[in-house]
């Protein structure tokens, strides 16, 4: 089945140690999103790609970067994770404007 896949499901990193989260999709969707969701809060949009065009939200910290090497893959890089970056990170895709989002199962990041 076509889907959005995030690996790993759980990721543990150390304070200040760079970490990369991955997302892949078999839907061939144009748009890929990264959201951060902390406990009992709504998902917060970090950035998105429309094809290769990168769109950063104004309040996304510089510590967060993203790469989309091709249509299928998108990566979230956290250069120096702090304790406050512990959260669920959700990847989502959509075919284009006015289309719903399809979510991956998320990666729960812990920072020790």
35: alpha, beta or left? (left if phi > 0; alpha if psi -120 to 50):
beta
The stretch among 21-29, 61-69, 76-84, 101-109 that binds other proteins (CB under 8 A) is 101-109
- Establish whether the linkage from the previous residue to 107 is cis, with ω within 30° of 0: no
- The three-state secondary structure class of 4 is strand
Q: What are φ and ψ of residue 84, in 5° steps?
A: -75, -5
Rounded least distance, CB 39 to other proteins, Å: 9
Using CB under 8 A, pick the residue from 24, 78, 104, 109 that binds other proteins.
104
Measured CA to CA, the distance from residue 5 to residue 34 in angstroms comes to 13
Using CB under 8 A, pick the residue from 13, 44, 63, 86 that binds other proteins.
44
Using CB under 8 A, pick the residue from 41, 52, 82, 112 that binds other proteins.
41
Q: Interface residues with other proteins (CB under 8 A)?
A: 31, 33, 35, 40-45, 48, 50, 55, 88, 90, 92, 94, 97-98, 100-106, 108
């Amino acid at each position: 089945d076509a889907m959005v896949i995030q690996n790993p499901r759980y990721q543990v990193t150390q304070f200040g140690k760079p970490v990369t989260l991955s997302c892949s999709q078999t839907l061939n969707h144009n748009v890929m999103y990264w959201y951060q969701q902390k406990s009992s809060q709504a998902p917060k949009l970090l950035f998105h790609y429309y094809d290769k065009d990168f769109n950063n939200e104004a309040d996304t910290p510089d510590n967060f970067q993203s790469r989309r090497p091709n249509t299928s893959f998108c990566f979230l890089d956290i250069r120096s994770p702090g304790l406050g970056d512990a959260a669920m990170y959700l990847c989502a895709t959509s075919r284009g404007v006015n289309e719903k989002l399809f979510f991956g199962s998320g990666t729960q990041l812990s920072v020790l």
